[in-house]
Amino acid sequence: MLKEIFILNKAGIGLFYQNFEPYGQKDTDLISAFLKIFQDLTLEYMNQSLQELKVGKDKILFFSGEPVSFVLKINNTIPSNKIENRITYLKDRFLQNYTEQLTQKDINIKDFDAFEEVVKEEFDIKTKTKRKSSENLQKAFGISLSTVNLKKLIESL
């Protein structure tokens, strides 16, 4: 059911990413982050929020909010409303576990790796992943550090 999940903070920084597709991971699937930016742009310029985008046999769902947003890729035959309660639960668990980390100036993305078990439990995922979330994010964005200084990152943009 759940193929990919991306959790971003309010600045759009990737905190957690995992691909649960059993046939292999594709780093190009990190397009979810760019879709989050697309969602923000539609909100700013068209005054409406993008909530769902169908792509072939899949759909990308956007659950925006403070202080984190979720972007998911699921099979397009699954009704979106079936996912909403699960995302609310995941967001609550994420905030229970990581509120302190979200308020820090330097965020260590390795802190969020353990959240994979919560996601797998909620979606009953048995697939073994090849990399931890922090490894996926480091590889995708070409960073060798696990700690992100938000002030420096935002200034560099």
Interior angle at CA 117, CA 122 and CA 149, nearest 5: 115
Structure confidence at residue 56 as a pLDDT band (50, 70, 90): confident
Does domain 2-156 bear CATH number 3.30.450.70? yes
DSSP strands (E only) in 21-110: 52-55, 58-63, 68-75, 106-108
Flag whether pLDDT at 34 surpasses 70. Answer: no
- Tell me the whole-structure pTM to 2 decimals: 0.76
Q: What is the pLDDT of residues 65-124, one digit of tens each?
A: 788 988 888 888 888 888 888 989 999 999 999 999 888 878 888 899 999 999 999 988
Instruction: Please tell me which residue, 54 or 119, carries the higher pLDDT value.
Output: 119
Please give the Cα distance from 17 to 30 (Å, whole number). 8
